[in-house]
Structure 1
Amino acid sequence: MYEHPIVVIGAGPVGLAAAAHLHERGLPFLVLEAGDGPGAAVRQWAHVRLFSPWRHDVDLAAGRLLGAAGWTAPDPDALPTGGQLAADYLRPLAALPALALHLRYGARVVAVTRQGMDRLRTAGRENAPFLIRLADGTDVLAGAVIDASGTWATPNPLGAAGIPAHGEAEAAAFIGRALPDVLGADRGHHAGRHTLVVGAGHSAATTLLDLATLADRAPGTTVTWAIRAGDPARTYGGGAADALPARGALGSRLRRHVESGRITLLTGFAVRALAVAGDRVEVSDGRRTVTADRIVSATGFRPDHTIVAELRLDLDPILGSTRTLAPLIDPNEHSCGTVPPHGIDALAHPEAGYYAVGVKSYGRAPTFLLATGYEQARSVVAGLAGDWDAARDVRLDLPETGVCGSGPEPADDCCGTALPTLIRIGGAR
């Protein structure tokens, strides 16, 4: 069916799920991963515990492959950390001969196009293979492309207008990315110091709770939390009513710390400018200024579409997802759990054979759940195999409560980073 392999970009949870489904379908494939092993992004937040237990964190096709190889699944009710997800699931999965022979590490994709064609040329386009160029200059030909490269490498700036705030570049030494290991490797940046956390999603909440714990252990540690919204209700989430208890507990604990004064909350704070003041940094919204020793930027992520600039994409002008998918995931209308089931049809572009799956498929929408990415991968692979009945039989069962609630302002970061997940329900397909 395919003269060239189907190339999967990224060996994270969704990319490896796609590989597992491709193997089951007997399709030729190659996985290109920029990192030195599977789950490279996940391993960067190895200390963070997921909201969902193991029984919800394993893709069905991947689970079948692992089970056939004698893999002992972890306690289904235990909540893994990112490190455990990588070590106990992603690494064993990637090591299976069925996948390992098709994985290439250190392979950073810098461009995807059609062989011999730029974006303008139409004649013969659908019959031309994709040409994927790697950072080392290698060209790889592909019959189709499943882009599961994620968004971890392209975080949003601190500036509230979507561009870096004035002075943000000059203050870069004071700014840390989302999900620092506050109680471990990054303790020295925060112990006995004042940290400003900017953002209203799960990443921010996780870091704030770790900082509150650090404040109990290290005298002089203080914490300020700045959000653009007028109140933190959506970050607090569903509490005891949350369909994922660990996620609800996160918001409840955060609320208690704010109400007790352990964490100072600034609402309606839209970062406009930063200024280095000796060994500290000043952050201003134009009305108020906060002086801190360290800033944690938990403002979410955005996709990098530059690598596919020569493909014909139909991107929503607001979210940067496909135009068809955008109204289904709009954070102004949907929470993580109210996103309807969707698959290959909602992910299709005018460029036949190219599909972005996983968190990248959502563009800037912060309502992504890992279970959604697994179902996307299954549907896309079924379509590439010509099984359109299976491709269009999409099913999801997601929680309707939590931080990703709809409202007048989207959360800065939601479910895509700490991967609160539910597995798809509706059959082992």
Structure 2
Amino acid sequence: MSFSQLGIEPALCTTIAQHNIITPTEIQQRAIPPILQGQDVLAAAQTGTGKTAAFGLPIIQHLLHESADAARDVPRALVLVPTRELAQQVYDNLSDYAAGTQIKLAVLYGGTSLKPQTQVLAAGVDIVIATPGRLLDHLFQRHTSLREIRWLVLDEADRMLDMGFMPDIQRILKRLPEQRQTLFFSATFESRIKSLAYRMLNEPLEIQVSTANKTADTVTQMVYPVDKRRKRELLSYLIGSRNWQQALVFVKTRETTDALVKELKLDGIKAAAISGDKSQGARQKALDDFKSGKVRALVATDVAARGIDIDELPVVINYELPFKAEDYVHRIGRTGRAGHDGLAVSLMSRDEEPLLKAVETLLDSRLPQEWLVGFEPSVYEPEANDSRGGRNSRSAEKRKLKAKLKIHQNRGKNSRR
């Protein structure tokens, strides 16, 4: 199937072909025709499935059909996204699709000055891509209006709810005309997502091309049990000994990103951090250096990594397992894209075993584990705030771990025979 068979006009097909977009993905095949027909859509699709083209191409085509003298003092299409990185990525993609046309775009997000964005809006735009908070800043200061919005897109709606954007979204919805086409994209169809969607959409077509508990067949997964205090040492060893030139490393908190980068640099590994408390300029530089190969390890939080799109990323490392099992799927979905092979490595300390169980329950499968020689977990690894039951419980833990150690040692002997 081709994009022209889906209803995309020849000029747009030629433009996107210049960016190697030739064969439609599943979400594009199923979403483009109904969007062209003006139908509301509720779609479940993971990051990296081609969502931006699925909603972007029909909107651009509709705009091209409008008269050249149509009012352009206010935007006619609005795309809401949860993070600055995703906003920039969507803007870049839509700009590529609209190349050679008179369609104007603006991207609005925090961490940068309002003034340049205000000037772009004042010059007239057709499509606005924005994070909710920054869009409200412009609306409150009357830099733009949503009175002519005909197409509303919520991209990664589940993430916007996770990040507490629901009040901002409700404020924005009150400023939108009731007569509009709404396109709702989420990684999951969980109850809270559907509840929100059906308050916003009019008899939507439901499309589901992937599920929250599915990982790509092209991604090889491995878990390395290790003492917490030796995680950084193991991370540096893996990156160095396996010659990984590009590894995206996930941690739980912003504080950990900078601390880990410092340690990696001391080990001779070029690293950079990307987290929510950094300026947009610093985040973009870190990402650009990582993409260009100047940096081998990019350390990121889940929130900061939204919108990171790197072709053929070879390795994702869970330095810390996520609190939410669904985030594991989002993380490792950064590798193994477009048919390329990928590797997802998790460094697991003993206190993270329940988090691994949650991931395995979600995936409905056991993840392979391997003890690396020289980094085997201790028989008992004390925690800083360990208040568990005294000598008897510690003895029980020791017996269990000694049994595990014996099993692994026997496996090693058998494999060498």
TM-score (norm 2): 0.28
Higher helix share: 2
Give the number of the structure with larger relative contact order, counting CA–CA contacts within 8 Å between residues 6 or more apart: 1
**Which structure: larger Rg?**
2
TM-score (norm 1): 0.27
